[in-house]
């Protein structure tokens, strides 16, 4: 079974530039999550989708972050403009229906803002 796919794996950008991350969840998983993980901390939920609808985006900095899952499968997370404090790993995860099931994580997209 293929896992959660993410790209790019690594990205270095200058502050005020934009960046986009892509995620392809495990086939059949209705729930998709984007997490931000700063070094030494646990993942922090940015946004959760159920199919193509948003379930929770309360911690998404909407002035600079946006995410979409137009067809209920793949998802993109965009940051524009980036700030130094956005340097982190962006983890995409998926599960069958939500928190009651095991959540499978991708390998993450490592962002460095300089």
Partner 1 sequence: KNQVEQSPQSLIILEGKNCTLQCNYTVSPFSNLRWYKQDTGRGPVSLTIMTFSENTKSNGRYTATLDADTKQSSLHITASQLSDSASYICVVSPYSSASKIIFGSGTRLSIRP
Residues at the site binding partner 1, with contacts judged by CB under 8 A: 4, 31, 40-45, 48, 55-56, 91, 93, 98-100, 102-108, 110
- Which residues neighbour 46 within 8 Å (Cβ) at sequence distance 6 or greater? 34, 35, 36, 57, 59, 60, 65, 67, 77, 90
Find tokens 């600079």 and name the residue. 64
- Give least dist CB 81 to partner 1, A: 26
Distance, in Å, from the CA atom of 96 to the CA atom of 100, rounded to the nearest integer, reads 9
Residue 29 token pair? 């998983």
DSSP state of 102: P
- Give least dist CB 42 to partner 1, A: 4
State which residue, 12 or 80, has the beta carbon closest to partner 1. 12
State which residue, 38 or 84, has the beta carbon closest to partner 1. 38
State which residue, 19 or 91, has the beta carbon closest to partner 1. 91
Distance, in Å, from the CA atom of 63 to the CA atom of 51, rounded to the nearest integer, reads 24
State which residue, 20 or 103, has the beta carbon closest to partner 1. 103
- Give least dist CB 61 to partner 1, A: 18
């Amino acid at each position: 079974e293929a896992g959660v796919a993410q790209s790019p794996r690594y990205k270095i950008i200058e502050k005020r530039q934009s960046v986009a991350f892509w995620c392809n969840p495990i086939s059949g998983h209705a729930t998709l999550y984007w997490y931000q993980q700063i070094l030494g901390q646990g993942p922090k939920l940015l946004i959760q989708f159920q199919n193509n609808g948003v379930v929770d985006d309360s911690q998404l900095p909407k002035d600079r972050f946006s995410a979409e899952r137009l067809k209920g499968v793949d998802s993109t997370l965009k940051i524009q403009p980036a700030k130094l404090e956005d340097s982190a790993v962006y983890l995409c995860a998926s599960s069958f229906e939500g928190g009651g099931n095991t959540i499978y994580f991708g390998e993450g997209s490592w962002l460095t803002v300089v």
